[in-house]
Amino acid sequence: MSLAPARPARRLPRRLLQLYVGLALYGASSAFLVRAGLGLDPWDVFHQGLAERTGWSIGTVSVAVGALVLLLWVPLRQRPGLGTVSNVFAVGLTMDATLAVLADVHGALAQAALLTAGIVLNGVATGLYIAARFGPGPRDGLMTGLHRRTGRSLRLVRTGIELTVLAAGVLLGGTAGVGTVAYALAIGPLSQLFLRVFALPPQAAPPPAAGSAPERGTRAQAAAASASASASASASASASASASASAQG
């Protein structure tokens, strides 16, 4: 009897763990950047600016903006996954929780260390949640949806969105600086690295049923499954490298 249906079920706990650990670490890493005080990623510059104007916490603003961005998926005909909906809430909540226990740091060395830790942790978080394959974040989905509807390149769409939210955030009082530049330069390579680290192993082909074509057919199925998994991981890495808010995103 084939065991193929059981294999995806055995992978599900790991995928769920990767998703929610990744989203929690993403929120924590964003809090590190806030406390470092050297500049945030473009979307968090926007969130911080709105927080300054509304009196809400930055995490609450992140949740509200994520929900509004998700509504933009409707005309773009994007389909959210479990990771998309979880992203809206988990990142903002864990960001606020981390800010509640993490104090501001002072001194250039301490700020630089916290900034570096935040960027690296953000790369780890992005690799975890994207490799879980539960769907992109609302901001990343907005980017890919506009890319599909307009025919413009992902890079151009991403740049346009992020320059817009960055400029709006600065005007609203958000913090942009050397940390913003460092994040933009480092997050793509880090995300690609950790996507490879946390990629799910390819599913093995089910054993052949009695009387079926033997080993040669099984090997062909295994090779096809491996090639499909490799292509999927490569596509995920490319999407991650093009999205700066990869988990929020």
- What digits encode the pLDDT tens for the residues 104-118? 999 999 999 999 999
pLDDT at 241 over 70: no
pLDDT confidence bin for 209, thresholds 50/70/90? low
Give the pLDDT score at 249: 65
pLDDT tens figures, 149-200: 999 998 899 999 999 999 999 999 999 999 999 999 999 999 999 999 999 9
- As a three-state string, the secondary structure of 27-69 is HHHHHHHHHHCCCCCHHHHHHHHHHHHHCCCHHHHHHHHHHHH
pLDDT at 6: 42
Sequence-distant (≥ 6) Cβ neighbours of residue 40 within 8 angstroms = 30, 33, 34, 48, 174, 175, 176, 179, 180, 183
Label residue 213 by pLDDT band (50, 70, 90).
very low
Amino acid 66: pLDDT: 97
pTM of the model: 0.80
Taking the C-alpha atoms of residue 240 and residue 56, their distance in angstroms, rounded to an integer, is 29
Q: Which two tokens stand for residue 57?
A: 């916490």
The predicted-structure confidence for 5-31, as pLDDT tens digits, reads as follows 445 667 899 999 999 999 999 999 999
Q: Please report which confidence band the pLDDT of residue 4 belongs to, taking 50, 70 and 90 as the band edges.
A: very low
CA 41 – CA 138 distance, rounded (Å): 16
End-to-end Cα spacing for the chain = 42
Q: Examine the pLDDT at 44 and tell me if it is beyond 50.
A: yes
- Measuring CA to CA, which residue among 236, 220, 228 is closest to residue 203? 228
Hey, what are 9's tokens?
């079920």
pLDDT band at 201 (very low <50, low <70, confident <90, very high): confident
Check: CB of residue 198 under 8 Å from CB of residue 11: no
pLDDT at residue 247 tops 50: no
Average pLDDT over residues 62-79: 95
Give the highest mean pLDDT range of 151-155, 203-207, 234-238: 151-155
For residue 177, the model assigns a pLDDT of 97
